[in-house]
């Protein structure tokens, strides 16, 4: 049985179809839901993917994309993202996997898909292949695709003291005056996250960039004392 068929059977077994319409409406998704919430979905993925091993990065990517491209329900897209982050694939999180993540980001094109990939998978590639990934994220930051821009802004959410501020600000700059909600929100989120590491730096940056939207400023300074 193909991996996607095994996965689908597991998800259908734990689905609550009565929840599916509300989940679909909340996410404004054209793709239907099965009715599996996040915690049981992750548990099901852990069971299905537990014993997997991959002979190569290409073999792993093929399995991820088979689930992604074959998905009939949105939870299966989430499962493909889970498979992209399994322990057996840690060694493959290098710059040559960026094309796969780009496909998922561009075709997924919504925050529930993009944000996990950006903050976790792209961030891991940045740590593993910093020079090549830095160049790639600078290019994504000026791309016509809004979700690639958002991904570039968010790719260091988990970096803490390892945050490359030059890269962060370079990824923010092309979208700083954008009227796109998802870009404004991403800028504020990225700055707010770094504020846990260096609040003074974020205050300085916000003060020196009056062109930041009100939303970006509010989000950036959200957790700071008055």
The predicted pLDDT at position 223 comes to: 85
Measured between alpha carbons, how far is 168 from 154 in angstroms, rounded to an integer? 8
The reported pTM is 0.95
Complete domains list, the chain, with CATH: 1-92 (1.25.10.90)
Measured between alpha carbons, how far is 216 from 219 in angstroms, rounded to an integer? 5
Alpha helices in the chain (DSSP H): 3-14, 20-26, 38-49, 57-70, 74-84, 98-108, 111-116, 123-128, 130-140, 146-154, 165-172, 181-195, 199-208, 214-220
Structure tokens at 159: 């970096």
The predicted pLDDT at position 132 comes to: 98
CA 111 to chain CA mean position, Å = 8
The percentage of residues in the chain with a pLDDT greater than 70, rounded to a whole number, is 99
pLDDT tens profile 194-219: 999 999 999 999 999 999 999 999 99
pLDDT tens profile 104-129: 999 999 999 999 999 999 999 999 99
Q: Which helix (H) or strand (E) holds 118?
A: none
pLDDT confidence of 157, banded at 50, 70, 90? very high
The predicted pLDDT at position 1 comes to: 63
């Amino acid at each position: 049985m193909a991996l996607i068929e095994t996965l689908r059977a597991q998800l259908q077994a734990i689905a609550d179809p009565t929840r599916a319409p509300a989940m679909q409406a909340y996410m404004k998704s054209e793709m239907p839901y099965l009715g599996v919430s996040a915690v049981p979905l992750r548990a099901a993925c852990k069971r299905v993917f537990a014993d997997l091993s991959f002979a190569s990065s290409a073999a792993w990517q093929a399995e991820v994309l088979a689930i992604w491209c074959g998905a009939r329900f949105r939870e299966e897209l989430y499962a493909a993202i889970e498979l992209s982050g399994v322990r057996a694939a840690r060694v493959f999180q290098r710059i040559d996997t960026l094309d796969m993540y780009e496909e998922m980001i561009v075709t997924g094109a919504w925050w529930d898909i993009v944000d996990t990939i950006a903050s976790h998978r792209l961030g891991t590639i940045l740590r593993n292949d910093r020079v090549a990934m830095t160049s790639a994220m600078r290019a994504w930051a000026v791309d016509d695709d809004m979700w690639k821009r958002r991904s570039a802004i968010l790719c260091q959410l988990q970096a803490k003291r390892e945050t490359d501020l030059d890269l962060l600000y370079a990824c923010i700059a092309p979208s700083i005056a954008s009227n796109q909600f998802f870009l404004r929100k991403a800028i504020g989120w990225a700055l707010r996250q770094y504020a846990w590491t260096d609040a003074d730096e974020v205050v300085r940056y916000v003060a020196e960039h009056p062109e930041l939207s009100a939303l970006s400023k509010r989000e950036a300074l959200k957790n700071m004392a008055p």
